[in-house]
Amino acid sequence: MPLSVRSIADARSAAGRSSVGTGKTAAPEAPSFEQLDKLLGALYEGPMESPPWSSALQLLRDQLSAGHVTLMLRPPSPDSTGVMINTGPTTEAGVESYQTHFFAMDPFVRLEEGEVVTAEELIGKQWLQSAIYRDYLKPLDVRHLLGADIYTREGIECRLRVTRSHDAKPFSEQDKSLVRFMLPHLKRSIQLHARLDFLECERQLFAGTVNRMLLGVVNFSQDGTIIEMNQEARRIFAEKDGLWTSGGNLSVDSSQESRELQRMIRHALTGADDAGPGVVEAMSVTRPSGRAKLGVLVKAIPMGRWSESNQRPAAVVFLRDPESNAAQPSQELVRRLFGLTRMEAQLALLLAEGLTLDEAAEQMSVRRNTARTHLRSIFCKTGVTRQTMLVRLLLNSVLTLG
């Protein structure tokens, strides 16, 4: 039931009348339009907070004069303690006791979508004789409990709980109307949060894969400044061997190479407005130390159809250090992937590092003929016939992602 001008005015009048001549805390006034606007704004900004919705839950707590407002983003279960966002005074012991024990006694389970009910409305007068009230809530000075559940088509189930102490008034119809009003907005915000969380998990997965492949990645905004870089790029820049960052830009030792790199980046940024696959150019950067040149590839990132931010990535620079050493996959991964023995897996990894068969045999403390026997067995199990083919098979396998 949406809040209207009339209902707000009626609730204010009723709140004023009900507080006269009573010893209990007066019921809160109905929210103004400014307060509702602030609450809704906090709800939709909630997915970007940590913990999410902490500001909105605090605003709701203030508006309802509540002791606590809790959002169970993932309710506790016998297999998990769940995820709970609390506002109001709590203790670790109190939260833990609910997550590990009292959640099983909670009468507020699987409420109907959009329903906002008090404990008395749900289970009647026996509420004050229930175990969860006597053993858990009463010692925490919780007398009044208001609940609502949220369900989404993605299978998300969240629970909103609001409490008041023993010296506070019960929740009124106006209080329930406010919670009922905000529920659809909280549901939409939870769906947005789930989508953002999925994208962030996907981003971290791909970023970790790129890092393991030792590929430096630098993202540029439309104005040509660096907005993000990964771990490998930071390592390369930290060496300051031919290429580094300065003032949000890339700097190169060689003036000629610097001009070429800046031209490529400007060209990519200009082409970022195109709907096609984007501009791609490459060059190498000389390192004063005499080490092998760095490989640099610049690529435009075309604007999406509905893109509007100037701070989105508009161009990306990929960096490759040919002398960088990747972390070696474990022998167990190699053994399980190709069905090798422990010694065969060790030999395969040494050969992939660039060692000759004699060098690998020496490092393994075995005779050359023994190493050759292991190599023949590896060839048989992997289906290759030459050492170079074996190295290529290892480097092109999923081992590099492990």
Is the pLDDT at 176 greater than 50, yes or no? yes
Is the pLDDT at 215 greater than 60, yes or no? yes
Residue 269 sits at φ, ψ, to 5 deg, of -65, -35
- Say how far apart CA 400 and CA 352 lie, in whole Å: 11
Average pLDDT over residues 10-24: 42
Architecture category of domain 5-198 in CATH: 2-Layer Sandwich (3.30)
More confident residue, 273 or 291: 291
Q: What pLDDT is stored for residue 316 in this prediction?
A: 93
**Which pLDDT tens digit goes with each residue over 181-200?**
999 999 999 999 999 999 99
Is the pLDDT at 25 greater than 90, yes or no? no
Q: What pLDDT is stored for residue 87 in this prediction?
A: 92
- Per-residue pLDDT band for 101 (boundaries 50, 70, 90) equals confident
**Whole-number average pLDDT of the chain:** 86
Instruction: Flag the least confident range among 3-7, 110-114, 278-282, 299-303.
Output: 3-7
More confident residue, 177 or 325: 177
Is the pLDDT at 30 greater than 80, yes or no? no
Q: What pLDDT is stored for residue 9 in this prediction?
A: 42
Tokens of 202: 């996907």
**Rg of the chain (C-alpha set):** 31
- State the greatest distance between any 2 C-alpha atoms of the chain, in Å, as a whole number: 101
SS3 assignment, position 105: helix
For Cα atoms 314, 257, 265, give the angle at the middle one, nearest 5 degrees.
Answer: 10
For Cα atoms 257, 259, 262, give the angle at the middle one, nearest 5 degrees.
Answer: 105
**Which pLDDT tens digit goes with each residue over 330-340?**
788 888 889 99
- Say how far apart CA 400 and CA 192 lie, in whole Å: 34
Average pLDDT over residues 34-48: 95
- Per-residue pLDDT band for 381 (boundaries 50, 70, 90) equals very high
Tokens of 278: 């984007």
Q: What CATH topology corresponds to 331-401?
A: Arc Repressor Mutant, subunit A (1.10.10)
Token pair 């709590």: residue: 90
Burial class (CB in 10 A: 0-12, 13-18, 19+), 256: exposed
Burial pattern 24-36, b for ≥16 Cβ within 10 A else e, equals: eeebbbbbeeeeb
Token pair 């960096």: residue: 319
Is the pLDDT at 255 greater than 80, yes or no? yes
Counting other chains too, the contacts that 108-115 makes at CB distance below 8 Å and 24 or more residues apart are 108/145, 108/147, 108/149, 108/159, 108/161, 110/149, 111/147, 111/148, 111/149, 112/149, 113/149, 113/150, 113/151, 114/148, 114/180, 114/183, 114/184, 115/148, 115/149
Q: In what order do the strands lie in the sheet with 280-285?
A: 226-229, 216-220, 315-320, 294-300, 280-285
**Which pLDDT tens digit goes with each residue over 163-174?**
999 999 999 999
- Per-residue pLDDT band for 312 (boundaries 50, 70, 90) equals confident
- Per-residue pLDDT band for 90 (boundaries 50, 70, 90) equals confident
Token pair 């067995």: residue: 377
- Say how far apart CA 34 and CA 7 lie, in whole Å: 16
Is the pLDDT at 238 greater than 90, yes or no? yes
- Per-residue pLDDT band for 352 (boundaries 50, 70, 90) equals confident
For Cα atoms 346, 349, 352, give the angle at the middle one, nearest 5 degrees.
Answer: 155
Ranges of CATH 3.30.450.40 domains, the chain = 5-198
For Cα atoms 215, 216, 220, give the angle at the middle one, nearest 5 degrees.
Answer: 135
- Per-residue pLDDT band for 401 (boundaries 50, 70, 90) equals low
Percent of the chain past pLDDT 70, that is, above it, reads 89
Q: What CATH topology corresponds to 213-320?
A: Beta-Lactamase (3.30.450)
**Torsion sign, CA atoms 317, 321, 325, 328:** positive
Tokens of 144: 């009044």
Judge contact between 253 and 288, C-beta under 8 A. yes
**Which pLDDT tens digit goes with each residue over 141-164?**
999 999 999 999 888 999 999 999
Distances (CA, A) of 174 to 7, 29, 118, 310: 8, 9, 13, 44
Q: pTM, whole model, 2 decimals?
A: 0.73
Ranges of CATH 3.30.450.20 domains, the chain = 213-320
- Per-residue pLDDT band for 311 (boundaries 50, 70, 90) equals confident
Tokens of 244: 């580094």
**Which pLDDT tens digit goes with each residue over 105-139?**
888 888 998 899 999 999 888 889 988 899 999 99
Instruction: Flag the least confident range among 69-73, 89-93, 162-166.
Output: 89-93
Residue 15 sits at φ, ψ, to 5 deg, of -65, -40
- Per-residue pLDDT band for 277 (boundaries 50, 70, 90) equals low
Ranges of CATH 1.10.10.10 domains, the chain = 331-401
Would you say how long the chain is, in residues?
402
Tokens of 4: 């209207």
- Say how far apart CA 300 and CA 276 lie, in whole Å: 10
The strand ranges marked E within 223-278 are: 226-229, 243-246, 249-252
Q: What pLDDT is stored for residue 13 in this prediction?
A: 43
* Residue 344 one-letter amino acid: E
